Amino acid sequence: MGNNKSCPGQECSSRFLPAEQAEVNRLFDALSSEKLGSSASPRSFSLQALKARDHVGDALPPEMVTRLFEGMRRVDGSGKAKGPSERVSQEQFTASMSHLLKGTAEEKSLVILNMISASGGPVKARDVHKFTEDLVGSVVHVLSYRRQLRGWSQKPPPGSPSRVQVLAAQLCSEMRLQGKCPALLLGPQWLDRDCDQAVLEDWVFRAHHVATFLSLVIHQGFLLLRSSLKLATLVPERQVDPQREFASVLDVLSVIYVNSHLPQERRLSWRLLFATELHGNSFAQLCGRIAHGGPCLVLLEDSDGHVFGGFASCSWEVKPQFQGDDRCFLFSVSPRMAVYTCTGYNDHYMYLNQGQQTIPNGLGMGGQHGYFGLWIDVDFGKGHSKAKPTCTTYGSPQLSAQEDFQFQKMEVWAVGEAPKAESVRKTRSILDIDPEARALLEASGRGRHSEGLREVPDEP
């Protein structure tokens, strides 16, 4: 770790398939086609050429284009010791693309260090933090510019903290600085700490979003080797009834972050099952729309602006027992992005019940009755998140601003392909799902007007 050597241009070229290398060469030829004076090398390009409208142009923020150029011109692509040039040669360009798109954590960290530091030496944690904010901001910028948001909003709802800053803070929390606890956010006391290449290499290895975002910026910003970018698994397709306008509490960055923690087969699309904005503040509506709907994400925004939720790894069922498995997790989006996975302490992953007199009625994830990591009460609009010090099932802290909270916004998104039985689920009412509710209706002397007008649904 921390080795400043980089591979020679020919060795880096061999990492690309022949068709890929040809595409890299074509891009370099286009960038180096500007008219040059007699003293300049014909096989190199300048920062101005990279920023030109017929190349990167406005696809990336100017500060990120400059960072990328500085990173490339400081890479030793020839294998010989020499200082940085004022232009980027073909060897440097090929080596940089190889490092960023196909390289090891060590090679990526070398380019990142060059993108941050003019000397290639240690940098301060605050400089890494600023670089990370620029990188995350560039992801949003280029996805919007290339019209690849896939239905999601570029910005969070008005009044919400900048998700660029929130995600950048989460990524920087993965840096291991001497004396710093893992996953601890970088407070003012850490910003002046030195970060050498060994620290950056370890960071890139563990904070996988850094490498992913750098690849995205190259693929979409330079329009290079886009066929190798699995954008569909990075940004899921947003599926909402096109006849009804709906503004989610999530933006594209928070979606990318949460989606990256889902099982691989669940990352291609999110389908809206329930939203208070569209379906009202009703626990019965919630149960009727999410039961037997497949794996899903439950999302809340409390009255203090905290955004958090949980991933249910299997279909919800209305019953007085815990359900789910160890693929479930809790998460926070604002004011901090974090995911909390199962601890193995117990199997209280999911709970959904209503109409009972002796046990709690509501939706819960983690912990125990009366002390859930996330709880939505049957008295809709109220809930709690209890953790002293952490939730036993997920190891999560208190997710809401107040232990007992109120909310007005709730969303449930089914993730991945719809379950085969969904067509059956759509024919079932809450009275089919909850036998006690049906019995209560019949005891009051009122029958179901729809009885006899539809086929009796099969039991799940």
pLDDT confidence band for 179 (50 / 70 / 90): low
**pLDDT over 70 at 405, yes or no:** yes
Residues 357 and 222 grouped into a single domain: no
- Label residue 234 left, alpha or beta by phi (over 0 means left) and psi (-120 to 50 means alpha): alpha
State which H helix or E strand residue 376 sits in.
strand 371-377
Residues 220 and 326 grouped into a single domain: no
Residues 263 and 135 grouped into a single domain: no
Residues 68 and 209 grouped into a single domain: yes
* Cα distance from N-terminal residue to C-terminal residue, the chain: 55
The predicted pLDDT at position 85 comes to 72
Q: What is the mean pLDDT of the chain?
A: 86
Residues 218 and 284 grouped into a single domain: no
Structural domain includes residue 2: no
- Burial code (b: 16+ CB inside 10 Å, e: under 16) for 221-246 equals bbebbeeebeeeebbbebebeeeeee
- Burial code (b: 16+ CB inside 10 Å, e: under 16) for 339-351 equals bbbbeeeeebbbb
**pLDDT over 90 at 170, yes or no:** yes
Structural domain includes residue 184: yes
What one-character-per-residue DSSP string does 94-129 give? HHHHHHHHH--HHHHHHHHHHHH-SSSS-EEHHHHH
Strand partners for 312: 296
Among candidate residues 79, 165, 101, the one with its CA nearest the CA of residue 130: 165
Residues 149 and 205 grouped into a single domain: yes
Q: Please give the C-alpha separations between residue 75 and each of 32, 85, 115, 400, 437, in angstroms, as whole numbers.
A: 17, 10, 10, 46, 69
pLDDT confidence band for 423 (50 / 70 / 90): very low
The predicted pLDDT at position 372 comes to 97
Domain that holds residue 321: 234-415
Q: In this structure, what CATH number is given to the domain that contains residue 197? A: 1.10.238.10
Residues 173 and 301 grouped into a single domain: no
Structural domain includes residue 94: yes
Q: Please give the C-alpha separations between residue 417 and each of 188, 254, 299, 330, 448, in angstroms, as whole numbers.
A: 44, 21, 19, 21, 33
- Residue range 223-248: mean pLDDT, rounded: 91
- Burial code (b: 16+ CB inside 10 Å, e: under 16) for 289-302 equals bbbbbbbbbbbbbb
Structural domain includes residue 324: yes
The predicted pLDDT at position 183 comes to 59
What percent of the chain lies above the pLDDT cut of 70? 82
Residues 101 and 67 grouped into a single domain: yes
Paired tokens of 236: 């899921």
Structural domain includes residue 441: no
- Cis before 263? omega within 30: no
The torsion of the CA quartet 77, 79, 82, 85, rounded to 10 degrees, works out to -10
Please give the Cα distance from 154 to 160 (Å, whole number). Answer: 13
**Rounded to the nearest 5°, which phi and psi values hold at 319?**
-165, 160
Q: 452 versus 145: which is more confidently predicted? A: 145
Please give the Cα distance from 116 to 256 (Å, whole number). Answer: 25
The predicted pLDDT at position 190 comes to 80
pLDDT confidence band for 229 (50 / 70 / 90): confident
Residues 173 and 214 grouped into a single domain: yes
Structural domain includes residue 458: no
Residues 28 and 167 grouped into a single domain: yes
325-336 pLDDT, tens digit each: 999 999 999 999
Report the domain count for the chain.
2
**pLDDT over 60 at 457, yes or no:** no
249-289 pLDDT, tens digit each: 999 999 999 999 999 999 999 999 999 999 999 999 999 99
The letter for the amino acid at 88 is: V
Q: Which of 210-224, 310-324, 354-368, 414-428 shows the lowest mean pLDDT across its residues?
A: 414-428
Q: Which of 50-54, 183-187, 370-374 shows the lowest mean pLDDT across its residues?
A: 183-187
pLDDT confidence band for 135 (50 / 70 / 90): very high
What percent of the chain lies above the pLDDT cut of 90? 70
Structural domain includes residue 438: no
**pLDDT over 80 at 295, yes or no:** yes
Residues 209 and 248 grouped into a single domain: no
**pLDDT over 90 at 395, yes or no:** yes
Residues 168 and 306 grouped into a single domain: no
Neighbours of 377 (CB within 10 A): 16
The predicted pLDDT at position 114 comes to 93
Q: Which of 228, 262, 297 is the last residue of a domain?
A: 228
**pLDDT over 60 at 455, yes or no:** no
Q: Which of 228, 259, 280 is the last residue of a domain?
A: 228
Q: Which of 228, 251, 286 is the last residue of a domain?
A: 228
Structural domain includes residue 101: yes
Strand partners for 331: 309, 339
188-225 pLDDT, tens digit each: 778 888 899 999 999 999 999 999 999 999 999 999 99
Q: Which of 24-33, 170-179, 309-318, 439-448 shows the lowest mean pLDDT across its residues?
A: 439-448
